Each structure stands twice: as C-alpha cells, then as structure tokens.
A = this chain, B = another copy of it.
C-alpha cells in the first residue's frame, strides 16, 4: 500500500489529505501537525480574541475539523508532532513527538509539504519575547494573558492582521496604540488614498494609530517607538510572515526570490518527484505580474492543497494562479483589493495606467442602511484593460471586488465593465452600481 505523508495539518495539508483519501480510499495517509489542532481558521483568531465568536466552548468555533474527525475518516493524524527532517532519497521523515521529545522515522511514497508561514519578528530588542497568535494554541495563551488583566495594548504593524487584532482588543476594553513605520495603514495592500478611509474608520473605533513611527524596542509593560514610550500591558506583533521552509531547504528543495517553495502549476516541488507543496509555504503564480509571489490566504491554501491531493494520487489538476484578491472587515469598514494597486504598478511593472476613484453608495441613496463606498480602479492606457481594483466602504462593499476579480482575470476593459449587466434593486445597489460609476470615471480619464 502506498503511503502519503503530509507535513502540516491546517488548511493546505488537510485539504490534500482529504482529497487524496477521497480519490483513493485504500491509501495510507499520515499527517503531522505541531499543534494540538487541525484544520483551524487562523483568519478567525482576531474575531475570537475580540469575542465576536463565542467562548462558550473555548476555541471550538475556530476548529473546522478536529483531529478526531479526520481520524474517523481514515487519516492518521499525529498532533503535537513536528517533522524536523526530510530525506528525499530514502523517502523518510524524521519526526519529533513534542510531548515526549522523542524522535523517530517515518517512511513515505508521496509527500505534501504544507508547513505554512511563521511571523517575521521585527529586528529590535525584545521582539522575540512576543509570541504571535498565528495558531489556535497561541491564541488561547494570548486570550488567557488578556484574562489575567491589563489595560493597555500596543499593536505593531497596521496591516490586515494588526488592524483586526487592534479592533479585537478595543472591543475587550483595552486602550490600544497601533504603530507602523509606514505613513499609511495597510501599506502593502492599499494605495494611500484608499487607506485614508480605513485609517478614519480605525480612529473612529478608538484605535490610537501612530504612523511613521519606527519601532525601537519592546520591554515589559512598555513599547518604545518614534522616540515615545507606549504603555503596553500586552503586545501584538503583526509585521508580516515568511514561509516556513527550513526543513524543505535542508532537504534540498528550491525556494524562490520571495522565500517560498517553488512549485509548478500542479503544486509539484521543482526537481523532486512525488513531492508537493501547498499553502503559505509556497510561491504562487501571479497572473498579472507573470511571476511567482508569496501570499498567505486560506482560500489559496485550500485550493492548492486539494490540487496537491489530486496530483499525488495520479490525477491531473492545476492551479491557475492568483491575482491578489483580498478582503477584510475592520471596525465596520469593509476593505477589498484585487489585481494591482497603483503603487504596485509603479514599483513592479511597466504598465502605463490611469487610476481613478469614485465615491458612491452601497444601496440606493434613499434606502435605509445605505452608506459610502469608494472604488478605485487602475486601467491600462490605450487598451483600457482593467488591472486593479480597491474598495473601501460600509457593509456590502467588500465582496463587490469579486466582480472586479473576474473582470481582471478575463482581461475585461473598463469600457466593457461600464456597460455590464449588474444587478440593481434599491436594498442592495444604486441604479448605477458603484463599480459602474467607477468604470465610467475610468473611461472618462482614459479618453481625456
């Protein structure tokens, strides 16, 4: 009987495991996971910390499928077990039981590496004292620390996770300072003009946002940054992550410029037969940049894991790449982006573009619950091809980016988008949907 080993029991790994077993019920599938949990929603952690999610059953809402459930389906899940070495020639893994600290060896025929990502600690004194809440057990420890008391928190990094965690801590009644070295929030995700709307929302919610404020040191009870001291009974570091690829590199697997494992469109690791990788630890093909990027999102991890599971069992599935779609909701502000921002176009491409922003409303102007929405579009001069979209607004704003995602994916022009047959009804849209309003503005800008 053939044996498929999975390193990492979250979205990518367990998607691969499940898919493989579905296709080949006789397959021997073993999955190794460092934490006590499998298939958890890391994206849900800030909402659990903020108690949007009930704590009645502890961290249960974050667990999509427990190790027990996976075992019932026939997957041999080993939790609290870390893979510390991969030998591709002998097809063996060295694994360490984190409870007993004993090491042993496990064979495999096919391998899926789904080791995820680890937080990047900022290069300042004390940064290594802060545990990032990237896993459910880490989130449980942070929650326990919050329960023990403290009035103040400092969140370092004003990206998606930083903002989500800052909101969670405000909801728990803490005084929250948020620091970022950049002169805008969401420096990686959004153009500065669009980020202003998010900044306003964060400040309205009571987050004390300090931009252009470089971190200096983290000490017990205090964070020094930009020449000031910020009281910090609790500290959250959310300054990005990097692929967790140490054992893969040791095994001789190739990583790309951005530090992720290099895979082809079948999630096959370059130059290693029968070895697949998926999720946060890989680089994914960006269809507009036409090169691999490193992006950490559960949606890609799930899809790539599934594809690895298909191909590891003799199937033929491929991942068509990404276009940079991401959404979030922070402090009653919905945020979305897809394709390229104006900044990314300038820094990473030779595209000649126009960018326009149109303000509109999410519902008919007269309808209860209507509110502002800003849509920024980036379109190529000459062709009019849509290359990027950013959306900030009230409820109902963010998922409109999916419409732009399909338009970008298929190479639609803003001229075509302007006349698209989108749905209209007063409770869900103005007669000209905000996307059409923005497309019209882009057409005028291109034609002028």
Measured CB to CB, the residues of A under 8 A from B are: 11, 41, 43-44, 47, 52-53, 61-62, 64, 297-300, 302-303, 319-329, 334, 336, 338, 364-368, 396, 398-403, 405-407, 409-410, 412, 416, 419-429, 431-433, 435
User: In the complex, are the beta carbons of A366 and B41 less than 8 A apart?
Assistant: yes
User: In the complex, are the beta carbons of A424 and B297 less than 8 A apart?
Assistant: yes
Chain B, residue nearest A429 (CB): B399
User: In the complex, are the beta carbons of A320 and B419 less than 8 A apart?
Assistant: yes
Chain B, residue nearest A321 (CB): B421
**Do A368 and B399 form a contact, CB below 8 Å, given A322-B421, A423-B405?**
no
A234 vs chain B, min Cβ distance (A): 22
Chain B, residue nearest A415 (CB): B320
User: In the complex, are the beta carbons of A44 and B424 less than 8 A apart?
Assistant: no
In this complex, the member of A324, A400, A406 whose beta carbon has the largest number of chain B beta carbons within 10 angstroms is A406
Instruction: Kindly state the separation between the CA atoms of A425 and B52 in the bound complex, as whole angstroms.
Output: 14
List 20 additional contacts besides A327-B423, A406-B407; criterion CB under 8 Å: A11-B431, A41-B426, A47-B367, A47-B427, A52-B367, A298-B424, A299-B421, A299-B422, A299-B433, A320-B416, A325-B423, A328-B425, A328-B427, A398-B423, A400-B402, A402-B402, A403-B403, A403-B406, A405-B420, A410-B410
> A323's contact among B302, B365, B421, B432, by CB below 8 Å, is which?
B421
User: In the complex, are the beta carbons of A367 and B423 less than 8 A apart?
Assistant: no
**Do A302 and B396 form a contact, CB below 8 Å, given A336-B423, A416-B320, A423-B326?**
no
Chain B, residue nearest A391 (CB): B423
User: In the complex, are the beta carbons of B367 and A44 less than 8 A apart?
Assistant: yes
A332 vs chain B, min Cβ distance (A): 10
10 sampled A-B residue pairs with Cβ under 8 A: A41-B366, A41-B431, A298-B424, A299-B422, A299-B432, A302-B432, A327-B424, A336-B423, A398-B428, A403-B405
6 pairs of A and B residues whose beta carbons are closest in the complex: A327-B423, A299-B424, A410-B410, A61-B366, A329-B427, A406-B406
Contacts of A429 in B (CB 8 A): 327, 399
Contacts of A334 in B (CB 8 A): 428
Contacts of A407 in B (CB 8 A): 406, 410
User: In the complex, are the beta carbons of B400 and A422 less than 8 A apart?
Assistant: no
Chain B, residue nearest A299 (CB): B424
User: In the complex, are the beta carbons of A366 and B44 less than 8 A apart?
Assistant: yes
User: In the complex, are the beta carbons of A399 and B398 less than 8 A apart?
Assistant: no
User: In the complex, are the beta carbons of A422 and B325 less than 8 A apart?
Assistant: yes
In this complex, the member of A11, A47, A403 whose beta carbon has the largest number of chain B beta carbons within 10 angstroms is A403
> A406's contact among B299, B324, B420, by CB below 8 Å, is which?
B420
A311 vs chain B, min Cβ distance (A): 14
Instruction: Kindly state the separation between the CA atoms of A108 and B445 in the bound complex, as whole angstroms.
Output: 33
User: In the complex, are the beta carbons of B400 and A421 less than 8 A apart?
Assistant: no
A404 vs chain B, min Cβ distance (A): 9
A23 vs chain B, min Cβ distance (A): 12
A190 vs chain B, min Cβ distance (A): 14
Contacts of A409 in B (CB 8 A): 416, 420-421
Chain B, residue nearest A368 (CB): B52
